[in-house]
Amino acid sequence: MRKFLRPGEFHASRRPVMTETLVGSCVTVCLYNAKEGFGAMNHFLRDRPKNESDPQIGTYGTSATRQIVKAMLKIDAEPRHYRAGIFGGAAVLKTANTDGGIGQANVAAALEVLKAAGIRVVRQEVGGSRGRRVRFNTQTGEIECRFAGDIPRKKTPQRTE
């Protein structure tokens, strides 16, 4: 099964899925259970809501990342079994006031939640000025990340271990 995540969406399941998304200043977190072979992915736009009661869980890094962590820990409650990858957080807008602040804050929000949950981040491809296309095989933990518009590499995708 294949699933393309749009901004504000997330997917978490024991079933094998090839999840994919495209991020710029947005961030995606790929969470993989290395012991059991399942995973989750999100795609969020901003670091945190102004009001914690905001119902749009998937929009914000703190709530979207907590959501996939919570869903995965319901299946296997041991944080040491998980590995995370963080992608995106670029400064893609070319304006005089752009300093990459949105992307940097998004990455920081994901790192904060993962650290609090005791989940190790094993891969980060963040920052810069270009968007990224990310494909994550939730069964094997393989992640392919390339800059948007680049021709796919003939290289074996990296695992999240």
pLDDT in tens, 59-98: 999 999 999 999 999 999 999 999 999 999 998 776 545 5
Kindly tell me the number of DSSP H helices and DSSP E strands found in the chain: 2, 10
Give pLDDT, residue 57: 82
Tell me the average pLDDT across 135-159: 79
Measured distance CA(68)–CA(11) in Å, rounded: 7
Which residues have C-beta within 8 Å of that of residue 125, sequence separation ≥ 6?
Answer: 85, 86, 87, 132, 145
Tell me the average pLDDT across 94-123: 86
pLDDT band at 58 (very low <50, low <70, confident <90, very high): confident
- For the chain, what are the domain ranges? 2-159
Between 6-20, 25-39, 53-67, the lowest mean confidence (pLDDT) is in 53-67
What would the pLDDT profile of 34-54 be if each residue is shown by its tens digit?
A: 999 999 999 999 999 888 777
Give pLDDT, residue 157: 55
Provide the residue type at 23 as one letter: V
The average confidence (pLDDT) of the chain is: 90
Task: Give me 96's structure tokens.
Answer: 């005089």
Neighbours of 77 (CB within 10 A): 8
Measured distance CA(45)–CA(53) in Å, rounded: 17
- Looking at domain 2-159, which CATH architecture does it have? 2-Layer Sandwich (3.30)
Q: Are 88 and 27 in contact (CB under 8 A)?
A: yes
pLDDT at 155 over 60: no
